[in-house]
Structure 1
Amino acid sequence: MATQTRRQRATTSPSATVTGGAEKAGAPSAPVRIPYLIGRTDRVVSRRLSEALAPLGLTVPLFTAMSVLHARGSLSNAQLAERSLMSPQSANEIVKTMQAKGWVVREPDPTHGRIVMLSLTDSARALLASCDETVKRLEGEMLEGIAAEHVALLEDLLIRCAKNLR
Structure 2
Amino acid sequence: MIVKMTRREFNSLPQEALYKACFEPLLLVYKSRVVEQITKNDSIVKEQFYKQLTNGQRALFVFQVYYEHASNSMVEFYWWSAYFMAQPKIWSAMKIGLQYFGDDAMLRLLEEIEEVLKRYNHPSSLEKFTVTREDLDNNRELLAFISPLYGKFDETAFLTIKIISEYVRNNQREFVQIED
Q: TM-score, normalised by structure 2?
A: 0.29
The structure showing larger relative contact order (alpha-carbon pairs under 8 Å, at least 6 residues apart) is 2
Q: TM-score, normalised by structure 1?
A: 0.30
Structure with larger Rg: 1
Higher helix share: 2
Higher strand share: 1
